[in-house]
Amino acid sequence: MASYEEKTIQYLSTIHSPEDFRAIPTEKMGELAEEIRSELIRVTTKNGGHLASNLGVVELTMAIHRVFDTPKDHVIFDVGHQSYVHKMLTGRYEQLDTLRQAGGLSGFTNRFESEHDCFGAGHSATSLSAGLGFAMSDQLNGSDAYTVVVIGDGAYTGGMIHEALNNCKKDLRLVIVMNENEMSISKNIGRFAKNLSKLRTKSGYFKTKRATGKFLRKIPLIGKSLYRMVRGVKKMLKNVLYGSNYFESMGLSYLGPIDGNDYEAVEHLLREAKKLDESVLVHLKTQKGKGYAPAEQSPENYHGMKPQTTMETRTSFSREMGIALASLAKEDTKVCAITAAMGEATGVDEIKSVDEKRFFDVGIAEEHALTFAAGLCANGMKPFVALYSTFLQRGYDQVIHDIALQKLPCVLCVDRAGLNSGDGATHHGIFDVAFLSQIPNLTIYTPITFDTLRSAMKEAYESKLPCVIRYPNASEDQEIVREFYPEGLSRPLGFAKNFFDANAPSVVIVTHGKIVKEAMAAQKHIVEHGVSVGIILLEVLKPYDILSDRLYEALPKNDCKILFLEEEIQSGGMGMNLSLQMMRRHGLTTDSFEILAIDDSFVERRKLGESMYEAAGVSAEHIEATVLRLSK
């Protein structure tokens, strides 16, 4: 990690509210921006988090809080991970060291954290729909509040943004700030465009424009008609020389583009946007990683950073999945990879080393990614779609309607499955087992070693039906390998266990995924109480009818109790499905088993130092207490 000179904090420490920030003289904004960048680098290096995007929006966020007044005015960020500066300027600087920590500040905007966070956002492309809701409700209620929506240009690859634009009304107090930092949305090229942009940033431009319009409209009899004619001629001339753009075609006023890292220019343009008193798009161009050379040169490496204490070079399930996929692609030219703006993070960009044409990054468009995969598959290709579990939620209908219903053998690689520390409730992968379990024609694999991952990839590749392979944001755990796979994997996937019938455990824990480590920790303490407990580690969940038969055969022949353990939501999950099948098919009674899973709640760590498993009520301590109760 390259060094960065920490600044002496003079102004940030005085900001306990937006009013305190606005009391700082304008000429000190440059010094404040340096302080903010220094603190962003210091804290994200220590705690992990999104650095490059926040470095890019420093001046923009400062200008927003200079021009608008939260919480009366509403500021919505897309995605909420670029809100660290916003948190500092709204009275949360003293808590900054707790960012993304148990009981600390969220890594995203959070309605329960501050009145200045009017809307939570952990997924992209939701902001404008929400902002439109705020602006419309203010209009209906007679409020003069403004709604400001800050959208990175990458979010415009998400369909919801365009659905919301299609519903924007002209007469709303809605300011849409397009933060262009990677790709060009509208081509603003040529000398006329550059000169127009410069002209619009001059302090007298808008004043003259308003005065001219007012003068023309006051001319008796012909004033209003003359004003409309002049506006029409101006628009026609601009379209001929400059070209219209998408946003103006949608009926929005358009200002920009300007340098979004020029504080004075941004503040000026936002004030002018505010005076228009209508729906307006302000186009800014910012630099990701601004002010920190390594992040400027490689912003992708400083997007989602891991905490300094966990930075390592070990491989991961994501990486190993990509390597296995590339190997399959070498053998079969029909194999291709699809991701939604997560090529490197999910590992599927490995396929580019085999054939770049078979790698498809469709942007932040999960629904499209899945139906696109269905189309490829229906025409003979073998697509592997890599998505985080939390983002797969957006494509539920597509999995049902476009893939499973048509029995198309697409392979869904579900990354970040299970509980995930750091990013909070928006990024836990705790719902996919429940919602995928309800879908016919699916097989669900849950590998927890690299060998079982590769076997799942191979079986899914050979399947004639759609398959799901879910795995955690982790590396292989050697203790799990030694405990459950001492001789490697030389069989079809099903399950592994760490007991034999002769042991006759009184309780058997049936689980899957990385939570098996909590079960193993509990097991060591439970034997000290004289209770024998075994563990069955599932590698495949669905089809549940087949699994229940195999599981029943693997259970000890004594009257053991079963604890179904999972780090996913209980309702509709593995435990409920398996217990139901075993009651139906094998006469299991309700007093023979118990389910320990995440209750009907979203999981947030609210206590300092609390682990995700403790917060979810599925930690080793919870397991131990449940097993001891069952054994009585």
Cβ neighbours of residue 239 under 8 Å, at least 6 residues apart?
none
Cβ neighbours of residue 305 under 8 Å, at least 6 residues apart?
44, 45, 48, 49, 50, 51
Q: Distance between alpha carbon 239 and the CA centroid of its chain, in Å?
A: 38
Q: Report d(CA 577, CA 585) in Å as an integer.
A: 12
> 567 an active-site residue?
no
Report whether 430 contacts 568 (CB < 8 A). Answer: yes
**Among 366, 367, 539, 568, the one annotated catalytic:** 366
**Among 7, 173, 288, 358, the one annotated catalytic:** 288
Q: Report d(CA 371, CA 382) in Å as an integer.
A: 13
Cβ neighbourhood burial of 313 (10 Å; 0-12, 13-18, 19+) = exposed
Query: And the tokens for 529?
Result: 């109480």
Cβ neighbours of residue 162 under 8 Å, at least 6 residues apart?
156
Name the packing angle between helices 263-276 and 205-217 (round to 10°). Answer: 20
**Among 200, 290, 394, 561, the one annotated catalytic:** 394
Q: Count CB neighbours of 379 within 10 A.
A: 7
Spatial CA neighbour of 57 closest among 80, 25, 26, 24: 80
Q: Is there a cis peptide before residue 257, judged by omega within 30 degrees of 0? A: yes
Q: Report d(CA 491, CA 301) in Å as an integer.
A: 39
Cβ neighbourhood burial of 327 (10 Å; 0-12, 13-18, 19+) = middle
* Overall residue count recorded for the chain in this entry: 632
Query: And the tokens for 408?
Result: 């198309």
Query: And the tokens for 23?
Result: 């009391």
Write out the E strands in 249-404.
253-259, 280-285, 335-339, 359-361, 382-388
Q: Report d(CA 154, CA 132) in Å as an integer.
A: 19
For residue 246, give the amino acid letter. Answer: Y
Name the packing angle between helices 205-217 and 191-200 (round to 10°). Answer: 80
> 366 an active-site residue?
yes
Name the phi and psi angles at 385, rounded to 5. -105, 120
Q: Report d(CA 28, CA 11) in Å as an integer.
A: 9
Query: In the chain, what is the greatest distance between 2 CA atoms, to the nearest angstrom?
Result: 103
> 483 an active-site residue?
no
- Catalytic positions, please? 288, 366, 394
